[in-house]
Amino acid sequence: MDGPIPGQSLTREPKKARYERPPEIADPNEAVEYHLTKIANPEVLDDILHALELGLPIKTMTQTMLTMAVAKGIHNIDVSLIIADVVEEYLISTALEAGIEFREDFDRTEETNEKKKKRVDALLRKAIDEIEEDESDEGYMLLEGMSDLVSSEVGKGDEPTGDTPEVEEETPEEKPVGLMSRGQNNGS
């Protein structure tokens, strides 16, 4: 019930949102340079490494960074798909060079997407909480933006509400009856 009304996007003025306009960067090489420069910034790098050290997987970090860039109109989703591996490999090499232990991805368990999003949100919140408040630099803002993006998606999925309806068991005498049913009363 929190979502937009169907057709609402057709009633507002077009091209108001950043993602509805042409992206700032259309060349994948320029997009890679943009992201690698941003990651290499010491203010950003220390916060990224801290989040990775706490257990946030590199794959999730990469996907979230690229999704944020698409939402800001930096580049489109196609460019994100092209450059994702390069950005991920850069994060891996940077983490190895820094000597921190990290995860590449979550374990391949039967965990739902909703649970993974909640886990990512908790890890990002933990990283943000451990950073001192006076250190609200570009890296802090990046982690906060990532957390906002992930937490806005939490709850939209297949999370059970706790109100599970009681299922009445069918007794042997209550077989379906009708023309197309396989019950005893099929018109005879």
- DSSP secondary structure code for residue 103 in this structure: -
Model confidence at 34, pLDDT cuts 50, 70, 90, reads: very high
Whether 54 has a pLDDT exceeding 60, the answer reads: yes
Average pLDDT, the chain: 75
Taking residues 1-16, report their average pLDDT: 75
Tokens standing for 162?
A: 């706790």
Model confidence at 55, pLDDT cuts 50, 70, 90, reads: confident
Model confidence at 83, pLDDT cuts 50, 70, 90, reads: very high
% of the chain surpassing 90 pLDDT: 24
Amino acid in position 46: D
CB count in 10 Å sphere of residue 97 = 8
Amino acid in position 139: G
Minimal CA–CA distance to 35: which of 87, 97, 96? 87
Tokens standing for 98?
A: 């820094």
What Rg value do the Cα atoms of the chain yield, rounded?
24
Whole-prediction pTM value? 0.60
Tokens standing for 51?
A: 């989040």
Burial of 156 (0-12, 13-18, 19+ CB in 10 A): exposed
User: What are the boundaries of each domain within the chain?
Assistant: 24-153
pLDDT, residue 134, reads 53
- Contact (Cβ atoms closer than 8 angstroms) between residue 74 and residue 23: yes
Distance between CA atoms of residues 166 and 181, nearest Å? 25
